[in-house]
Structure 1
Amino acid sequence: MHALGILDTPPEAQFDAVCRLARTLFRVPYAWISLVDAERLWCKASAGIQFGPTARDAAFCHHAILSDAPLVVEDARSDPRFHGVALVTGPQGVRFYAGLPLMLRPGLPLGTFCLADTVPRRLSEDESARLSDLTAVVVAQLRHYEARVASETEALRRRASEEALSQASRNLTLAEQMAHIGHWRVDLASGAVTWSDEVCRMHGRAPGDPAACIEEALSYYHPEDRGRIAALVTDARERRAGFSFKARILRRDGEERVIVSRGICECDETGAAAALFGSAQDVTEMDRAQAELQERTARLRASTALLDATLEHMDQGLMMVDEAGIVRVCNERAIALLDLPRDLMRNAPTFDEVRRHQIARDDFARCEAALREQVAHGPLPTHPRTYERERPDGTVLEVRTVPLPTGGAVRTYTDITARKAAEAQVAHMARHDTLTGLPNRALFRDSLDRRLASQRRHGGACGLLCLDLDAFKAVNDTLGHLAGDAMLREVAGRIRAVLRREDLAARLGGDEFAVLLGGESDAAATAERLIAALREPVDLGGQEATIGVSIGIAVAPEHGLDGDTLIKRADRALYRAKSEGRNTYRHFAAAMDRAAEERRRLELDLRLALQRGAFALHYQPVFDLAGGRITAVEALLRWNHPTRGRLDPAAFLPLAEETGLVVPLGEWVLRTALRDARALPPEIRVVVNVAGAQLRQHGLPGAVRAALAAAGEPPGRLELDIAEGALAEAGGRLADLADLGIGLAFDDFGAGASSLGALRRLPFGRIKLARALAGDAALPQASGLLRAVVALGEALGLEVTAKGVETEAQLAGLREAGCTGAQGFLLGRPVPFGELAPMLGEAVAFPGPRRSRGA
């Protein structure tokens, strides 16, 4: 940042504009751009907020800059890292923060681009993407600074370079003459060749008289080397890569010289190959001396007993062939790996004799055609070469041939069977699920994309089934994760058994599976077979468990011809199958896209409503059936939608739960209800419903404590209704809530299957009967069941309240059964808080007898 010269600079319109745009786009009160120095944080631009240099360790941005990923703090007051930060405790009142590091390049963050709000919230995927886009705009401006500094630096460097260039050119000429090294360049567009004076001398030409074109330059190479050099040049041009070679050149006077040349490919600004540049060194004398030395050394080593002993103890097989083609050395490991006859090897055979023996015994059908021809008939290569060969017994050998300077070659044979098996296992594990052995998400997606690409070219159809297990979570929760793993393995086996060979099944993660149907398959028939197979009970170590499966079906090309679209639509069909009863299947229909779009619009409306305060609370009275007085009021949420009018919770709470918006919405209900409670008589409780998503939040007890403190109400004034379906999300938070001193009520008792177990172990003080039980209260045949439920509550020391009372007969039946409280349209409809007052003062005389407690 100091090099860019951006710290402590005046405001700039482009940065301020981004902040204003972010503030409008995300509907937040604050947006700013921070630059983070070693010890301080400095605000480059902002909208809605102003602050000066700040200590780095006292800011959100200190944490955001330490990671490549966004830092999102949904509620700073409940986050121990930030609850004491000045932006949170001060007049700005920041609750929500989202910041992305300003990465000039990977590993080089300069600061952060930040959003903040005064209410807790979350970012959707779309919002996260837009935030990333705006961050990219800021980074682009920073790169403008970097480019300007680089340009100024480059100008200074060029002036210095130009002054030294002429001197360097003279020094280079002298150095090339001393080292016998020259340089060359080939312009690929024009074909023009440039040689330094030293390269001209190597080729027997006068200084300043290079070859006219690349074809003329190649003509100097020995005919046996010319094709190889031309291929290297072509390959370097096509791959835009470097190269090196050693080759012979023939001067015009007939003298043969040996040169070593190294080259690189120069690319233009588009990345296309523009020129080849390299060096050439005359190594004729050096090469002759080195060849003589290597020859003497090789012959010396071949004749020593030490070499023989080393060869016999090698883990590799080794065979040395001289320039005449005679096998001079073959160690025991090579004889064993190649299964060679000792009589043959004892008589110094030719390499061709050994090769004919191998061809007669081994199967080379798996080799490529060119390699098969080389193995059968070709000479030993003149350059190092390595290939793999599988023998009939399954052994895989790595065969490496290294030419000797004197002619002939050394060939090694390495047993790589174990390595190849390990590589195959690693490759399999990277593409398959380790638990079930099924293909994983990556392999499944590759297979789907290949199938759809083939379908786009050749036509046809294919089906995609997305599967989600029903009731699998109950297996994990009740029997443990080991049993859950065993269940998943059994599910995978049953899926395989149902499918045909051309079908592909995969585990995408958790209890999600997918099937790609091959050929002309009946997707519905396959789904029915899968449902039938997976509904059968599974024996999990002596305990029987039963699950089901919901399936969504999408078919190409009818529902799309790209993987993303097909998967999305199969998922929507799966969602419909789950919402319509589970353990069934549904085909994708266009209406599902419309429903998804409607759901998306409703989610956006819900977020806006939460920001703009478009919700209201209505209160329904709860009566004591003994005294006829109101003992509690239940807070019920209503949404004043701008186009749909007033919406009851059933129209939007399921979506709020799915998206997590129910958490900030629930906190608003809690705070508002306790604030309203201050105007109620002290003996009347306020009842608030708690959703499963709220129970998953570790901060729920703290939020309740804070709401009570803000309203100045005692804990006993509040009662939380918790439905049975939400209990699985509670963990140990029910005990923490009970420790606050508030009331807990088991809501919708009788609507599930585990109510008794929950009542015995959880700290409830009240049972609220499901509407179905209250609805049957007027039926003579239901009176026994109702009395039994009430007696259960009495035995456990719990109050029993009935919901949904709508008739006098129901009320009489509930009183006769011994219920202590009731609510419903018969007794009072939900009304705004201001309309409660007339209902609070007088007692109501209920008709009919009431059974006494304990009777």
Structure 2
Amino acid sequence: MHPRPDREAERLSALHALGILDTPPEAHFDAVCRLARTLFRVPYAWISLVDADRLWCKAASGIAFGPTDRDAAFCNHAILSDAPLMVEDATHDPRFRDVALVTGEAGVRFYAGIPLMLRPGLALGTLCLADTVPRRLSGDETARLSDLTDVVVAQLRHYEASVTSQTEALRRRASEEALAFANGNLMLAEQMARIGHWRIDLASGVVTWSDEVCRMHGRAPGDPVAGIEEAIGYFHPEDRGRVATLVAEAREHKQGFSFKARIVREDGDVRVIVSHGICQQDEAGAAVALFGSAQDVTEIDRAEAELRASTALLDATLEHMDQGLVMVDEAGIVRVCNERAIALLDLPRDLMRARPTFDDVRRHQIAQDDFSRCDAPLRDQVAHGPLTTHPHTYERERPNGTVLEIRTVPLPTGGAVRTYTDVTARKVADAQLAHMARHDALTGLPNRALFRESLDRRLAALRRHGGTCGVLCLDLDAFKAVNDTLGHSAGDALLREVAGRIRAALRQEDLPARLGGDEFAILLGGEAGADSAAATAERLVASLREPVDLGGREATIGVSIGIALAPEHGLDGDTLLKRADLALYRAKSEGRNTYRLFAAAMDRAAKERHRLEIDLRLALQRGEFSLHYQPVFDLAEGRVAAVEALLRWNHSARGPLGPAAFLALAEETGLIASLGEWVLRSALRDARALPPGMRVVVNVAGGQLRQAGLVAIVRAALAAAGQAPARLELDIAEGAVAEESGRLAELAALGIGLAFDDFGAGASSLGALQRLPFGRIKLDRALSACAACPESAGLLRAVVGLGRALGREVTAKGVETEAQLAGLREAGCTGAQGFLLGRPVPFCELVPMLGGAVTRPGTRRSRSA
């Protein structure tokens, strides 16, 4: 059995006393559930009451409940405290992942429940939200859900007050019926109120109170007041004059009266009573007495006040919603229209004050907006279709450029709720991200993903219909020298100039792309043959050999081009690009600044690659690999927050090799798995000597991410090194993210950090950022370079702002100048690494760098300084 609240018996007694269990549906509870679904845009909302062994659903929207065992319900946990219960993903919570709501047809992942606290410590049930996707509520959303919970609690207290009143009325009725046999005068009181009665003898001034009236005034039964002045004296000073006047007028005019007023007991307790009186006359018509009843309505009055306050709170919530909301009843009359809806739809206030029909509002919108761009079915639905046939959502752009997401939800009782959400900023951001995902941030050219999509489509059409196709692979000559001598800012400027010259040398139907670094590719449009491809290559060689002015310094580069043609050299994208790449390497090996067409003799390059593969397979056995470490700085605290492990190969014949020389080959051959495990274990072993709290960063390639046993390998490496999971951060490159198979969530569950590496290199995806458990975004060096370029600074701020809006920390890579570091700080980056802050060094040389702190762009000081 699961835990129970401390005051379980008292809680159950209070619940059963309400008499609400197993009662028919009630409109006000159902309305709260429907409103909760609309406000929080969730598929399910319900109000549950937790009995001794079962969960009973008082109201629900979007979901139907059968008999539910208490121990198998979310709500049984929600009532254990006064605080809300928030479950962001039930499939990861051992308390709930096996319950029917999660594993069954409802597919609940997210749950939020706030206890219905009748009194402190007595939670009778919960107001619940549920969704089929993981999510969390903001502070404002949690507050709004609490406001709705207050509405439900007010209804329960109204139940309690009514039950109390009914119970008391029944008790008093029985007493009065028993007393009726002994005293006929009580019949009149029974007919009037059946609560408590009083009598004022007008001749003597004697006041008679029933026992109940005595109790109302805090006096002992049978101890009435001495006279009318004393009775009037019990009323609150603000009510006393009004009551005295009513009594005097009743006596004078021989008429009845009714009033609601406050009385103040001797102990200071203030009660609210309702009194009805009549003037009793003798046979001659003379007034002889005032006779009446009194009812203590304090609890009812208090419950009604709470309900009014809750209603006012609900009204305030509606008026301050970010969404526009319109509620239409079954007759088509607009019953609710908040301020946001009036503003978003430019509705005239005079029209809305007149309680218009929804058709009136619709006609106003049709006259105001241009629907010509909508497709015919949507245009017909907006202009003529019924509002309440089925739930539906569509988008509409208003004349002022605002894009509204319009969602309609029918109400079971008739009518519907329609919400209007301004999604203009989201649409702009989506368009920007979609462009970024398919275009290179530095040059604006299509990126590798878009180029490959276009090539695959072209080859598919060629296979179906015949024809030819040409691919050119370009690699800049002497570009590295420009980067090394003039810096990466100059290199970026050069790449932008190269992109412009490539565009100028091509026809409109040709598609250029930047694949990464100084690598470009071109898909020739139309029918492509050897002659036309060669002519294009010659134009490119001639254009790119011309000197480039880089801020007063002239740079001269060239380009090597490889050409492959389909169907002659292959009919699939991989083959065609591989052979164009082989031709490119031939052009480089034969003097550069030229082009070559693929030929079968170029297979010699493939043989050389095979020899390198053999060396790579033996390198681990021979102990030829080592790790260098580069510091990663926390810009806010000015300290080294992490060190990134970078692999080096000490080749027996070729000397030291960076990862660019062999990692791609390791992935292609499957050696990346054993090589990556060696890096992970070595880095964690070195991390034992790092200061407490400093992370070690290890890069994970796509081939590793595809490993079925990767999570177990990471867990074992942490255990072997005796390191806590928080010590480790894994950098996942953009290219690898596209291949992830769900293992990122498993890795995150270990407690290690995950970073989205090389963000902006070309495969960025908003969907990946939202869907995958990254805690950090590491910007591609091309984006970092934008920090020093005024014309690109806006793009950098947008990317950093996007990351922060998604709750990710943002670290910049490749920081090489003080101007870049200053720009990155201004853009909001939280971390940075690069040659300016520290070059990769062996671990033994790293220790002097760990005490450094960033005091200004480009400088460091020791922690003790």
TM over 0.5: no
Give me the TM-score of the superposition, normalised by structure 1: 0.36
- Taking CA–CA contacts closer than 8 Å with sequence separation of 6 or more, which of the two structures ends up with the larger relative contact order? 2
Give me the TM-score of the superposition, normalised by structure 2: 0.36
